[in-house]
Chains A and B, each alone.
Chain A
């Protein structure tokens, strides 16, 4: 183990300011244990760089993916457009309902209007379900 006071300096040696690097160098000259540890650290860094740097995906990856995607058949694209996003859709429906309550005279609240309102609510429910499914896909 390096001396406690110099551990951080030695670990960050590459990024040190000149004055700190000078301090570390002076200590390394005087302390054999830190010198041994620092050499080991340099060796670890070099070995890790040689082992991992510039690593690419194997060529077989893309080819295997092409095969699997071709086997999986055409992509199922959601039929629900973005405009029917749950939050937006629900907002429009709520606003419409509130306006309807204010402006439609009670005498006009007949069966066809109730059917229309029910249809809107049903559409909202379908939109919410579709939105939920799309969220799970992602």
Chain B
């Protein structure tokens, strides 16, 4: 498909290339935006903005990088800019108890038995931004470390470390809230 897109570009038909490109990459771009922003509405806006930037840059696209690398880079930068423009960009440390408090609050709000109706999105949103991005993307991309590393443009070792800590935090928060909640 990427060859077909390049072929359309070579033939001077950017609109056809763009249509193919949207069809091929819309899920990836949306998922990357959602992983970074954590909110479906904002992720859709960000994905739209990224594709518009891609459309405007398509005429000048040069094969210095692969098409997918360029597209992911535009999508990532667009989402990160959107993230920075809001107060959602948090800089928690692992020692901060916010995620545990969130899990306990959630448990207290729910009169349901322990672990029933557990809202994992709310807990993930309480994680430091980098952990939340990696953990969302890992599950969206069918647990592929390689794909997460490629999309976020970070080393695979970093993906594994962030994921390890994030899962540990989430499990610890849930286990503690269960003990407290009875």
| Contact residue among B27, B59, B120, B175 (Cβ-Cβ distance under 8 Å from A75) | B59
A58 at the B interface (CB under 8 A): yes
CA distance A37 to B167 in the complex (A): 11
- B52 close to A69 (CB less than 8 A): yes
Which residue of chain A lies nearest to B169 when distances are taken between CB atoms in the complex?
Answer: A44
| Contact residue among B12, B60, B142, B175 (Cβ-Cβ distance under 8 Å from A137) | B60
Among A18-26, A45-53, A89-97, A100-108, the one that faces the other chain is: A45-53
| Tally of A-B Cβ pairs under 8 angstroms | 117
Using Cβ atoms and an 8 Å threshold, which residues of chain B touch A44? 120, 123, 167, 170-171, 174
By DSSP majority rule, is chain A's interface helix, strand, loop, or mixed? helix
- A65 close to B22 (CB less than 8 A): yes
- A53 close to B167 (CB less than 8 A): no
Using Cβ atoms and an 8 Å threshold, which residues of chain A touch B140? 52-53, 55
CA distance A120 to B155 in the complex (A): 45
Would A78 and B30 be within 8 Å (CB), given that A44-B171, A47-B120 are in contact? Answer: no
Q: Map CB proximity to B onto A46-68 as digits: 1 under 8 Å, 0 otherwise.
A: 01110111011110111011001
Which of A's residues lie within 8 Å of B, judged by CB?
Answer: 1, 7-8, 11, 36-41, 43-45, 47-49, 51-53, 55-58, 60-62, 64-65, 68-69, 72, 75-78, 82, 133-134, 137-138
